[in-house]
Amino acid sequence: MSGWSWNWELAWEALPELLYAFFTVTLVVTVLSTAIAAVLGLFIAILRRSVPRAVDRIIKFIVDFIRMTPIVVQLLFAYYTFLDVEPITIGIVVFGIHYSTYMAEVYRAGIDAVPRGQWEASTALSMSTRRTWTAVVIPQALRATVPALGNYAISMFKDTPFLLAIGIVELVQASLAFGGSHFRYVEAITLAGLIFLAASYPTSLLISRLEKRLAFRY
């Protein structure tokens, strides 16, 4: 009777392919999508505070619709709608827009947490609206929101296997392809999990440390 075994030779053979998929797809999509989500989410949060209530309700409906729709459905919709666009570009944009709706709520909570006296002091000093946002409100809001934004970035990183839906060979798909070609999945899947852990765990520790520093300063 044969028991469970680990094939080191197969693992070393799989590692370069998995690392290539990680650095060229998984990491690229995560970093670029996080940048889009962070900027777009801040824009949405500020916009919702600046428009009339009727317009805000429309924006809220759109944000809720995107947030409550499975990202796989959004990927497939964009993929079959924009046939001339590269799949990885679709993945980056869809992930960025999807997570911007979550980050927008985080920003909104951070903005609402800014003491009302800060707004009143800015008005008393005759500061422009733009100056109030950039010099007073946003810096204080970011103190409370950076940790949560970082957690969403990690969540996005772990959601990249959904790119399989539009044919993108990211880390998990690369491990499955390697396992299928060698009729053995244990080594490749295990390495994929370890690569995810090696990338996300230090990031989570950094976010936790940053949260403590910001809380202390705040």
Quick check: is 216 in a domain?
A: no
Residue 216 has pLDDT above 60, yes or no: no
For 177-210, how does the pLDDT look when each residue is reduced to its tens digit (9 = 90+)?
A: 999 999 999 999 999 999 999 988 888 888 777 7
* CB count in 10 Å sphere of residue 149: 21
For the chain, the domain total comes to: 1
pTM of the model: 0.87
**Residue 192 maps to a domain:** no
- Structural domain of 134: 29-168
Rounded CA-CA distance 69/66 in Å is 5
Range from 86-90, 116-120, 139-143 that averages highest in pLDDT: 86-90
**106 assigned to some structural domain:** yes
How distant, in Å, are the alpha carbons of 125, 128, 138, 141, 167 from that of 132?
10, 6, 9, 12, 45
Q: How far apart are alpha carbons 139 and 66 in whole angstroms?
A: 27
> What CATH number is given to the structural domain containing 109?
1.10.3720.10
Angle between helices 71-81 and 87-112 (to 10 degrees): 130
Would you say residue 125 lies in a domain? yes
- Pick 208 or 153 by higher pLDDT: 153
- Lowest average pLDDT, out of 18-22, 120-124, 189-193, 194-198, goes to 120-124
For the residues 79-97, what does the mean pLDDT come to?
95
8 belongs to a structural domain? no
